[in-house]
A and B are shown apart, each in its own frame.
Chain A
Amino acid sequence: MSTTRPLDAAIVGIGQTDFSKDSGRSELQLAAEASLAALADAGLGVSDIDGMVTFSVDPTEDVELMRVLGVPSLGYSVRLPHGGGGSGATVYHAAAAVATGAARHVLVYRALNARSGRRFGQPRDPGAAPSVGSGWSFAQWYAPYGALTPAATLSMHAMAFMSSHALSNEDFAEYVVGIRDFAATNPSAWFHNRPITFEEHQASRWIIEPVLRLLDCCQETDGGVAFVVSTVERARDLRQRPAVVLGAAQGVGAADVAGRVYAQAGVGPTDLDAAMVYDAFSVEVFSSLEDLALCPRGEVKDFVASGAIRRGGIVPVNTNGGLIGEGYLHGMNLLTEAVRQVRGTAANQVAGARHVLMSSGRGACILGGET
């Protein structure tokens, strides 16, 4: 396993717009608003930014965001592969840029009108060319048979995992009730003040039988999220308590990515105080928990049922309500939640959180306070 020491980097500012179903403004506007909020949070100005990172399906070009913000020049700019899977990888690339001196302050952004614009849950145009850069070109093989939504294609894969782990949709209810409990006490969440019961989950209609019911699916959300990455030394002069990047990685193979992050950070799964795990659909969390070694292989069903990842559990997962409960900002709102947990400012704060992991499968990081 190729591991190295941690990159010298920290997340120094976070920002977001309101999360809604109808933003009433362009994605460029949302990206700019979130970016300005992140800079203000950090105590930086637009001219301090000299690097940008986003991922494949974001519609906002770096040059457009530079123009509207007034960023004079960039020494580093990259657009990562794998769609939402790339959200967790943004930290790795931004950290690498500042640690190597390619940039001083890197702005990471993602903004989407996934409800009022192109709805993410609706079928793809079967006649459209396979997407390049999102990791979804395989979808062309499903299209002739009617599997044209993320829920459908993901469920085709999920069936094997459910079968080998004796999981049913009732097991997913356990997870969803837990994150809706978190969302209920998070004012930023779409489902703020709206917890659900197991029975309500099971009464929701099938979207993809026998895998996903309506309440297993994330929101289609309008909004923007941004954050700024700098070196730890520069972070000390800024406004917020830095969220130090203890470990970060990108790759294909979720367990391998997680292993590299743990090794870099010198932190193991049992050292985590909280984890943010990509949950466009409930079932994804179950395979991810095993890939992240939060429970032994084959035991995720009992692990989730034990309450381990709920409020007050040994490793609370998706304390903002996740992408299902807070909103689908394509994974980026899980990163900002990880930062808030490390700062001690989360709506559902885990007392004394020191090591917080975020994973979107193809990218992951562990954030912590400065030691």
Chain B
Amino acid sequence: MSGRGRLTSFIIIHHPPIPSFELPIVVGTVELEEGPRVTTNICDAARDELELGMPVEVCFAATTDKALGVPLFRPVRA
């Protein structure tokens, strides 16, 4: 898969606190170029940057298991 898609929904969670997360949390839905939609977190994005339809690309958050990463998405930078 290309790892690219566009942002079809996003929210910024301000309250209440969520265990093991740091507020604010950006949750998004990404429609992949190949069609499927996935729920994810959007990282490395300033508030004013977030916009429905914006292009995003996958990145991986490290886990305690070195072989596994959690797929997250970030804005595509020129």
Contact = CB atoms under 8 A, between A and B. Distances in A.
Interface of A: 121-123, 126, 141-142, 144-149, 152, 155-157, 159-160, 163, 205-211, 214
B27 A159 contact: no
Contact of B12 (A121, A123, A145, A206): A206
A123 B18 contact: yes
A145 B27 contact: yes
Given A144-B70, A146-B41, A156-B27, A208 B19 contact: no
A209 B52 contact: no
Interface in B1-57: 8-16, 18-19, 21, 24-25, 27, 29, 39-41, 52
Contact of A145 (B19, B25, B52): B25
A121 to B, nearest CB: 7
19 contacts: A145-B27, A145-B39, A145-B41, A146-B18, A147-B13, A148-B18, A149-B16, A152-B13, A155-B11, A156-B27, A159-B10, A159-B11, A206-B14, A208-B12, A208-B13, A209-B12, A209-B24, A211-B11, A214-B15
Contact of A160 (B9, B13, B16, B21): B9
Given A142-B27, A156-B27, A159-B52, A208 B40 contact: no
Contacts of B14: 205-209
Given A123-B19, A205-B15, A207-B15, A146 B27 contact: yes
Contact of A209 (B11, B18, B41, B70): B11
A142 B39 contact: yes
Nearest to B12: A209
Nearest to A210: B12
A272 B1 CA distance: 52
Given A123-B16, A207-B14, A146 B9 contact: no
Contacts of A208: 11-14
A123 B20 CA distance: 12
Interface SS of B by simple majority: strand
A359 to B, nearest CB: 24
Contacts of A206: 12, 14-15
B19 A147 contact: no
Rank and list the top 7 A-B pairs by shortest CB-CB distance, nearest first. Answer: A209-B12, A146-B25, A159-B9, A146-B21, A206-B14, A155-B11, A147-B27
Given A123-B18, A141-B39, A205-B14, 10 more contacts: A121-B16, A123-B19, A145-B39, A145-B41, A152-B11, A152-B13, A156-B29, A159-B9, A159-B11, A209-B11
A126 B18 CA distance: 10
Contacts of B11: 147, 152, 155-156, 159, 208-209, 211
B41 to A, nearest CB: 5
A163 to B, nearest CB: 5
A209 B23 CA distance: 12
Contacts of A160: 8-9
Contacts of B21: 146
Contacts of B27: 142, 145-147, 152, 156
Contacts of A121: 16
A49 B14 CA distance: 47
Nearest to A214: B15
Centre residue among A122, A145, A209 by max chain B CB count within 10 A = A145
Contacts of A210: 12
A207 B19 CA distance: 16
Nearest to B50: A210
B26 to A, nearest CB: 9
A147 B24 CA distance: 11
